[in-house]
Structure 1
Amino acid sequence: MKKQFRVLYREFLFRVVDLELLAPQGDIAKLLGQFAAVLLFQSFALSLRAMFVSASSLPAQTLRAILWEREHTLISTTMLVVGLFAVLSWDSAFLNRRDVMVLAPLPVRSRTLFFAKIAALATALSLTILALNALTGLAWPIVFAGANSRFGDVVRSLAAYWTTMAAAGVFILCGVLSLHGLAAQLPRRRYLRISALLQMAAFCLFLSVYLLQPAPVSVKALGALESRHLLEWLPSYWFFGLFQVLNGSVPIEAQTTIVSLAGRAVLGLAIAGLTACVAFLLSYFRTLRKIVEEPDIMPGAGGIHWLPRFGNSVTTAIVHFSIRTLMRSRQHRVILAFYLGVGFAIVILFMQAPPSRQQALSASVTGPGLLASVLMLACAVAGARVVFAMPLELKANWIFRVTPLQGPRGLLNAIRRSLLGLSVVPVWAVSAGALAWLWPWRIAAGHLIALALFGSILADVSLRGFQKIPFTCSYLPGAGYRGLLTVWSTLFITVTAVGFERRALDSRAGYTLMIAILCVTAACARWWSVTRANSPDASLLFEEAETPAIFALDLHRDGRMSA
Structure 2
Amino acid sequence: MNKGSIARAAKYERRNQYHLLWAHFFKRFLHNDLISPQGETQITLIHILSVLTVPGFLFAYVAFKKYFIYLKSTPPMIRMAATLSDQGLLIAFSMIAMGFLAILEWDALLPERRDFAVLTPLPIRRKTLLGAKVTALLLFLWFFTTAINLFPALVLPWATADQADSLITLLWRIAVHLVSVGVASTFVFFSCVTLHGLLVNFPGRHSLDRVSRAAQFLLLLLLVQALFLLPQLSFAIKTLKQTDSLAAYLPPLWYLGLYQTLLGNEDPVYRSLAGTALTALGLSFAGSLLVYIFSFRERLSPWTEAREYQSPSVPRAQAWVETFLSRLTIRNEVEQAIFHFVIKTTLRSHKHRLYLGAYAAVGLAFSGVTTLASVRWVEEATLEQIQSALLPVPLILLFFLLVGMRYIFTI
When the two structures are superposed, what TM-score results if normalisation uses the length of structure 1?
0.59
Match of 1:387 in 2: 408
Q: Which digits, 9 at most, give the CA deviation of each residue in 1:387-430, with x for residues without a partner?
A: 3344xxxxxxxxxxxxxxxxxxxxxxxxxxxxxxxxxxxxxxxx
| Match status 1:202 vs 2:219 | yes
Match of 2:135 in 1: 119
Number of aligned residue pairs: give it: 376
Q: Choose between structure 1 and 2: higher helix proportion.
A: 2
Q: Please, which of 224, 239, 262 is the counterpart of residue 242 of structure 2?
A: 224
| Match status 1:178 vs 2:194 | yes
C-alpha distance in 1 between matches for 2:393 and 2:164:
46
Q: Please, which of 242, 246, 249 is the counterpart of residue 262 of structure 2?
A: 246
Cα distance 1:257–1:102, how it changes in 2: closer, same or farther (>3 A)?
A: same
Q: Please, which of 313, 321, 328 is the counterpart of residue 299 of structure 1?
A: 313
Match of 2:380 in 1: none
Match of 1:259 in 2: 271
C-alpha distance in 2 between matches for 1:24 and 1:66:
42
Match of 1:61 in 2: 77
| 8 Å Cα contact 2:191-2:284 kept in structure 1 | yes
Match of 1:337 in 2: 357
Q: Any idea what SS the aligned residue of 1:133 has? A: helix
Q: Please, which of 227, 233, 238 is the counterpart of residue 215 of structure 1?
A: 233
1:388 partner amino acid: F
| Match status 1:35 vs 2:56 | no
C-alpha distance in 1 between matches for 2:233 and 2:188:
20
State the 1:374 CA deviation.
7.4
2:219 partner amino acid: A
State the 1:234 CA deviation.
1.6
Q: Which digits, 9 at most, give the CA deviation of each residue in 1:335-359, with x for residues without a partner?
A: 222234345555656667799xxxx
C-alpha distance in 1 between matches for 2:83 and 2:180:
16
Q: Which digits, 9 at most, give the CA deviation of each residue in 1:44-87, with x for residues without a partner?
A: 22222212321222222222222111111110010011111111
| Match status 1:51 vs 2:64 | yes
C-alpha distance in 1 between matches for 2:174 and 2:405:
42
Match of 2:146 in 1: 130
2:221 partner amino acid: C
State the 1:233 CA deviation.
1.9
Cα distance 1:333–1:291, how it changes in 2: closer, same or farther (>3 A)?
A: same
Q: Which digits, 9 at most, give the CA deviation of each residue in 1:221-258, with x for residues without a partner?
A: 5333222xx2332211110000011122x2x6xx1111
Cα distance 1:243–1:272, how it changes in 2: closer, same or farther (>3 A)?
A: same
Match of 1:285 in 2: 297
Cα distance 1:354–1:368, how it changes in 2: closer, same or farther (>3 A)?
A: closer
Q: Please, which of 178, 182, 188 is the counterpart of residue 162 of structure 1?
A: 178
C-alpha distance in 1 between matches for 2:165 and 2:371:
39
Superposition map of 1:393-412 within 5 A: none
Q: Please, which of 14, 22, 27 is the counterpart of residue 27 of structure 2?
A: 14
Q: Please, which of 268, 280, 291 is the counterpart of residue 280 of structure 2?
A: 268
Cα distance 1:93–1:234, how it changes in 2: closer, same or farther (>3 A)?
A: same
Q: Which digits, 9 at most, give the CA deviation of each residue in 1:71-125, with x for residues without a partner?
A: 1111001001111111121111123333332223222232222112111111221
Match of 1:234 in 2: 250
Match of 1:326 in 2: 346
Cα distance 1:368–1:9, how it changes in 2: closer, same or farther (>3 A)?
A: farther
| 8 Å Cα contact 1:200-1:334 kept in structure 2 | yes
Superposition map of 1:498-513 within 5 A: none
Superposition map of 1:473-488 within 5 A: none
2:49 partner amino acid: A
Cα distance 1:144–1:382, how it changes in 2: closer, same or farther (>3 A)?
A: farther
Q: Unmatched 5+ residue regions in structure 2? A: 1-13, 376-384
| Match status 1:192 vs 2:212 | no
Cα distance 1:210–1:16, how it changes in 2: closer, same or farther (>3 A)?
A: same
Superposition map of 1:98-109 within 5 A: 98-109=114-125
Cα distance 1:30–1:90, how it changes in 2: closer, same or farther (>3 A)?
A: same
C-alpha distance in 1 between matches for 2:37 and 2:155:
42
Q: Unmatched 5+ residue regions in structure 1? A: 356-363, 391-563
State the 1:163 CA deviation.
0.4
Cα distance 1:128–1:336, how it changes in 2: closer, same or farther (>3 A)?
A: farther
State the 1:280 CA deviation.
0.6
State the 1:215 CA deviation.
2.6
Match of 1:423 in 2: none
| 8 Å Cα contact 2:85-2:237 kept in structure 1 | no
RMSD: 3.5
C-alpha distance in 2 between matches for 1:176 and 1:89:
10
C-alpha distance in 2 between matches for 1:18 and 1:205:
26
| Match status 1:5 vs 2:18 | yes
The sequence identity of aligned pairs, in percent, is: 27
Bigger radius of gyration among the two: 1
C-alpha distance in 1 between matches for 2:127 and 2:240:
47
Match of 2:8 in 1: none
C-alpha distance in 2 between matches for 1:48 and 1:368:
37
Q: Which digits, 9 at most, give the CA deviation of each residue in 1:343-389, with x for residues without a partner?
A: 5555656667799xxxxxxxx99998898777656644553344334
C-alpha distance in 2 between matches for 1:113 and 1:224:
50
Match of 1:86 in 2: 102
| 8 Å Cα contact 2:23-2:136 kept in structure 1 | yes
| 8 Å Cα contact 2:30-2:45 kept in structure 1 | no
C-alpha distance in 1 between matches for 2:185 and 2:361:
21
Q: Which digits, 9 at most, give the CA deviation of each residue in 1:309-350, with x for residues without a partner?
A: 79895x876654332122233442222222343455556566
1:322 partner amino acid: V
| 8 Å Cα contact 2:229-2:369 kept in structure 1 | no
Cα distance 1:351–1:189, how it changes in 2: closer, same or farther (>3 A)?
A: closer
Q: Any idea what SS the aligned residue of 2:165 has? A: coil
1:202 partner amino acid: L
Q: Any idea what SS the aligned residue of 1:223 has? A: coil
Bigger mean CA offset, 288-297 vs 109-118: 288-297
Match of 2:5 in 1: none
Q: Any idea what SS the aligned residue of 2:150 has? A: coil
| 8 Å Cα contact 1:310-1:319 kept in structure 2 | no
